[in-house]
Structure 1
Amino acid sequence: MSLRADLRGATADDHNRLDAVFGQYDLADAAAYRRFLRAHARALQPVETAIAGSAATHAWQPRVPLIAADLAALGEPMPEAMTIDPPGAARLWGMRYVVEGSRLGGAMLARQVGAGLPAAYLGAQHGKGEWRGFLEALEGAGDAGGAEWRAEAGGGAQAAFALFAASAAQEATDGPR
């Protein structure tokens, strides 16, 4: 079985739960959209910081600058980043799988963003062949790493989903601004 299939299977429930949480935000409403972006920004920052200092950067294009620009356009500063323990290589590839995969869902969500609201973050889609190239690099890393490495990658993907869920919960606790 491919590593992609393993990761998809290991995170299916996490993915569905997170989709339900973030699906509650009305992206056409500026205040709700700001909360959505803050929740994403808090979780995305530590993951992208870890990716930037790793070997998991094959054709990687960070999105933190895009979400920061969207928030700034809405008059909102970047929220404080959540913290994570430095992930090992396999966990990091699993985390990157989640954030790269989120670009695919972002295409659908970008259509829900209200007229006149910035959408650089959600609109940042993969270029031609980038998703396939990432998956090939992921599979290559998984093949080289073996079964234990692949299991660790699954743990990293689950940790990324948990990080985004925790950030969404924090945003819900902080309440509307």
Structure 2
Amino acid sequence: MENHQRVDDLFSNFSFDSPAEYRAFLKAHARALMPLEQLAMPDSPRLPQLMEDLASLGETLPEPLETTAHAGEGFRWGALYALEGSRLGGAMLERRVPAGLPRAYLNSVHGQGSWIAFQQALDEAADGGGQDWIDNAIQGAQAAFALFAAGAAAERVSSHG
């Protein structure tokens, strides 16, 4: 998915070599995570862990990005797909975090079998929802990726002037 690659590219520009860069990375995620978790209602939200990491670095939550409210269940599942998938990326990124920096957010990975269970639940919901549901789910995932991209762009601007 093109939007996913764009988000990966934007976040790959954040270096974890300094606390300031890592703070910017976490704040970029926070800007998107706040509205997305409110919209998607994940079973295991990660905002508390993100707040914990930011507090450990002397930061508070930044202003959240605005998202268009969408009542469709397919849209919610699409956003949830992007959120849950970002846990997989977080597990990979956690390895780059230097010793001494907090990792609660990136360590918020899926329990054994839970990613597969999520995918099965998503498939079942899609099977019962029809083409409109699937179209809305794609829109939800794209909206989630766009929020993460906007968060990354906002923090690149604020941390680099």
Give yes or no for TM over 0.5. Answer: yes
Offset of 1:39 from its aligned partner? Answer: 0.3
Which of these residues, 9, 23, 32, is aligned with residue 12 of structure 2? 23
Q: Does 1:49 align with 2:38?
A: yes
Q: Distance in 1 between matches of 2:68 and 2:84?
A: 20
CA contact (8 A) 1:31 1:176 kept: no
Gaps of 5+ in 1: 1-11
Q: Does 1:174 align with 2:158?
A: yes
Count, aligned residues: 160
Which letter does structure 2 place at the counterpart of 1:34?
A: R
Offset of 1:176 from its aligned partner? Answer: 4.8
Q: Deviations over 1:107-129 (max 9, x none)?
A: 11000011100011111110011
Q: Deviations over 1:126-145 (max 9, x none)?
A: 00111011111111110110
Match of 2:65 in 1: 82
Percent of paired sites with the same residue:
49
Which letter does structure 2 place at the counterpart of 1:45?
A: M
Within-5 A mapping of 1:40-119: 40-52=29-41, 57=42, 60-87=43-70, 88-119=72-103
Match of 1:34 in 2: 23
Which letter does structure 2 place at the counterpart of 1:86?
A: A
CA contact (8 A) 1:35 1:176 kept: no
Q: Structure 1 length normalisation: TM-score?
A: 0.87
Q: Distance in 2 between matches of 1:153 and 1:51?
A: 11
Gaps of 5+ in 2: none
Offset of 1:168 from its aligned partner? Answer: 1.1
Root mean square deviation of aligned Cα: 1.3
Match of 1:135 in 2: 119
Q: Distance in 2 between matches of 1:147 and 1:63?
A: 30
Q: Distance in 1 between matches of 2:85 and 2:38?
A: 17
CA 176–68 in structure 1, closer or farther in 2 if over 3 Å, else same: farther
Match of 1:9 in 2: none
Offset of 1:89 from its aligned partner? Answer: 1.1
Offset of 1:93 from its aligned partner? Answer: 0.4
Q: Structure 2 length normalisation: TM-score?
A: 0.95
